[in-house]
Structure 1
Amino acid sequence: MDLEIAQSTPTAAAIARVVQANYPVGEVVASEFLRRSFNQVYRLTLADGRRVVARLCAERPRGEPNLAFEAAALRHLQAQGCPVSASLPTAQGEVAMRVRLPEGERALMLFEHLDGEATADVPANIEAFGRGLARLHAAGEAFDAGASRYRLDLDYLLMQPLQRLLRAPTMTAELRSPFEVLGVRLRDRILALGPLSRVLCHGDAHGENNFVVGHEHGERQAVFFDFDEIGPGYLAYELAVYPWSLHPRSVDGVWSDKALARWNGFIAAYRAVRELGEADIAALGPFVAVRQFWLLGEYAGRVPVWGSQAMPTDYLQRQVKLLTQWEALELPVPPAVATAGPAH
């Protein structure tokens, strides 16, 4: 009897064979399965000593991966002097290839491998992360974002994830209305702030999708990877992803002094390179809650692969309480220092 497959997991050795046969990289001498999250990621070592990273794209609730746009944006950012993990073309010059698996075809994309320190809670690294993200945004201003599959607007970040969440098998009638009310109220609060700045968003800049390396002139520098969520969108959302990752997940959670220091170091470093308007500052708190809605929608869309108990009903009950608390969240933003300009 044939069984339907939601998502298979190829071995690292199998991915190594596929890459060796389809990319002009020479022999692959070692392979390692790094993680299974929204995608499956592998590290490969080549005969000449180089390392590369292969990303096998998973089926995603938001639609097809943004591959062509991602590759073009990475080329642009690299040409502008931004240290990013650029994608590597196939032997046929394509930005990605299709791999046939039991569940159907999935896209495989190959990237340069980056090394460096984790951002962690090291103040100099956090400041490098803030400066680096500001420089990415400055460099992205000259890039034509018209071809992006993703637009990180309120429909994409909030209303579509809300609808996926409401259809989750663990959603109850009692929870459906509070989630709907919270989502609509959050959308209306952000729209009431007026026009907000737009940038070319990394989309997932939570401090763990970059490393930090030493610079020849002494300044530490952030190097960025994992642009899977890239697209034009709200600057305030992009900046809210980092404090979202720092905020306690308990209902009565309050910011620790350490978390506040990390946030202050990050946003001060960002503002030293690139200006941040008053409306964008006011939107930071609401977008922390938007980010949580986006994540819940992603989980709901992956139930066929991860299972319904990736978000059980008691978890959803806690999320209503958490989002109610976050609805009134305001992020402290220290005064700006002199802007250094869009240096690369």
Structure 2
Amino acid sequence: MYTQPIALRSVLDPNYLKYCLSDQYDVGDWQECTYWLRGLNDTYRLRTSCGDYILRIYRQAVDESDVAYELSLLLQLRNVLGAGTTQVSEPIAQKDNTFYSVIHAPEGERVVVLFRYLYGSENLLHDENSCYAFGRSAAELHTAMDQVNMQSTRINLDTDFLIRRPLERIISYIGENHESTSFLRLFANALIERISETASQGLDWGICHGDMHGNNNAFQEGDTFTHYDFEWSALGWRAYDLAQVRGRKRQRTERKDELWQAFMAGYRSIREFSEQDESAIELFLMARRFWVMGLDVAFVPNDTGALDFLEDWLQDFVQEFRDYHLVTSEDIACG
């Protein structure tokens, strides 16, 4: 008899979600539940007689402890930020005053959280004023994060999380004997060494958003930015958070530098960001790209499939990493 889960990742029927959850919340009658977005997790838009909400169904790999950390952080941040122009998403309490449920899916248990719907729109950060404003908001968020008191722990956004573990996943995927494996090891080790050297001289360390790239992690309504999607939030280097803004791909190449300077001016109008921290941005850009490569690999078996992640995908990353010139030809010859 087959005893393993029959699915790797399912899309849950909105009617099933209504059956499981509608009695758990005091949000009025469920009128419409629409499958809204397939990302790392599944998002549904819920419309009730009391208003609009977002229902997030975390993928099966996300533990309850991780969701509890995220929710504790959000609730504390909402208290610290008050009624200012930087806000974070609002989780909705259930009737028993808890903030998440666990429901059964074909692949196993999945955690569910209901959030208040966010109006407004994504700011594309295509002009200096927008970048300055987003920089101020990012700084206000970091300042608020310095004031929360997290009782639970979570893995740090350090070189182990950003580089070593992704390297293990990547090599497991492409194979120890692949011709690119040796270079990827050299690159990862060189990057770890450079980051460790830079961090030893002192970098701002604290709770980070973890995914602050500016594409789909904040909505703007009027002068207010509301930050959401804190799944990767944890202790880390603030330069890593800001490097994700630096690496935005939706800005015209010829304007990236001036837009970055506008963002940094906005950030520094609220809180300090040293020259040492800014000098580390390029290293954390590389680390982010390596982490993204590892994330791609993690989702091949149960989400994206292998077709778009074959040799062309691999060589694109390898060439990108070669172009950073972190590994010399002498290193490669000796490796």
Which residue of 1 is the match for residue 157 of structure 2?
A: 152
Which residue of 1 is the match for residue 92 of structure 2?
A: 88
- Separation in structure 2 between the aligned mates of residue 11 and residue 125 of structure 1, nearest angstrom: 39
Which residue of 2 is the match for residue 197 of structure 1?
A: 204
Which residue of 2 is the match for residue 339 of structure 1?
A: none
Structure 2 unmatched ranges of 5 or more: 327-335
Note if contact 1:116-1:212 (Cα within 8 Å) is conserved in structure 2.
yes
Which residue of 2 is the match for residue 240 of structure 1?
A: 243
Which residue of 1 is the match for residue 333 of structure 2?
A: none
Note if contact 1:246-1:259 (Cα within 8 Å) is conserved in structure 2.
no
- Separation in structure 2 between the aligned mates of residue 269 and residue 196 of structure 1, nearest angstrom: 19
Which residue of 1 is the match for residue 139 of structure 2?
A: 134
- Separation in structure 2 between the aligned mates of residue 279 and residue 247 of structure 1, nearest angstrom: 27
Which residue of 2 is the match for residue 41 of structure 1?
A: 43
Give the superposition deviation at 1:54. 1.0
SS of the residue 1:89 aligns to: coil
Give the superposition deviation at 1:17. 3.8
Give the superposition deviation at 1:18. 3.1
Match of 1:314 among 287, 312, 315: 312
Give the superposition deviation at 1:77. 1.0
Which residue of 2 is the match for residue 183 of structure 1?
A: 188
2:333 aligned with 1:326, yes or no? no
- Separation in structure 1 between the aligned mates of residue 93 and residue 146 of structure 2, nearest angstrom: 25
User: CA 1:169–1:99 in 2, change beyond 3 Å: closer, same or farther?
Assistant: farther
- What is the TM-score of this pair, normalised by structure 2? 0.87
Give the superposition deviation at 1:117. 2.6
Aligned partner letter, 1:200? I
Aligned partner letter, 1:292? R
- What is the aligned residue count? 315
- What is the TM-score of this pair, normalised by structure 1? 0.85
User: CA 1:327–1:159 in 2, change beyond 3 Å: closer, same or farther?
Assistant: farther
- Separation in structure 2 between the aligned mates of residue 13 and residue 89 of structure 1, nearest angstrom: 21
User: CA 1:129–1:89 in 2, change beyond 3 Å: closer, same or farther?
Assistant: same
User: CA 1:266–1:300 in 2, change beyond 3 Å: closer, same or farther?
Assistant: same
SS of the residue 1:241 aligns to: helix
Aligned partner letter, 1:262? L
> What does 1:6-21 align with in structure 2 at a 5 Å threshold?
6-21=8-23
2:117 aligned with 1:113, yes or no? yes
Give the superposition deviation at 1:68. 1.2
SS of the residue 1:126 aligns to: helix
Structure 1 unmatched ranges of 5 or more: 215-219, 249-254, 329-344
User: CA 1:159–1:313 in 2, change beyond 3 Å: closer, same or farther?
Assistant: same
Give the superposition deviation at 1:327. 5.4
User: CA 1:14–1:258 in 2, change beyond 3 Å: closer, same or farther?
Assistant: farther
Give the superposition deviation at 1:170. 7.2
Aligned partner letter, 1:154? T
SS of the residue 1:34 aligns to: strand
- CA offset digits 1:210-240 (Å, max 9, x no partner): 11122xxxxx231111111111111010000
Aligned partner letter, 1:58? R
SS of the residue 1:51 aligns to: strand
- Separation in structure 2 between the aligned mates of residue 176 and residue 140 of structure 1, nearest angstrom: 38
Give the superposition deviation at 1:75. 1.1
Note if contact 1:154-1:187 (Cα within 8 Å) is conserved in structure 2.
yes
Note if contact 2:293-2:317 (Cα within 8 Å) is conserved in structure 1.
no
User: CA 1:182–1:106 in 2, change beyond 3 Å: closer, same or farther?
Assistant: same
Taking only aligned residues, the RMSD between alpha carbons, in angstroms, comes to 2.2
Match of 1:294 among 287, 291, 295: 291
Which residue of 2 is the match for residue 68 of structure 1?
A: 68
> What does 1:214-253 align with in structure 2 at a 5 Å threshold?
214=222, 220-246=223-249
The 10-residue stretch of structure 1 (139-148 or 190-199) with the greater mean CA deviation from structure 2 = 139-148
Match of 1:210 among 206, 212, 218: 218
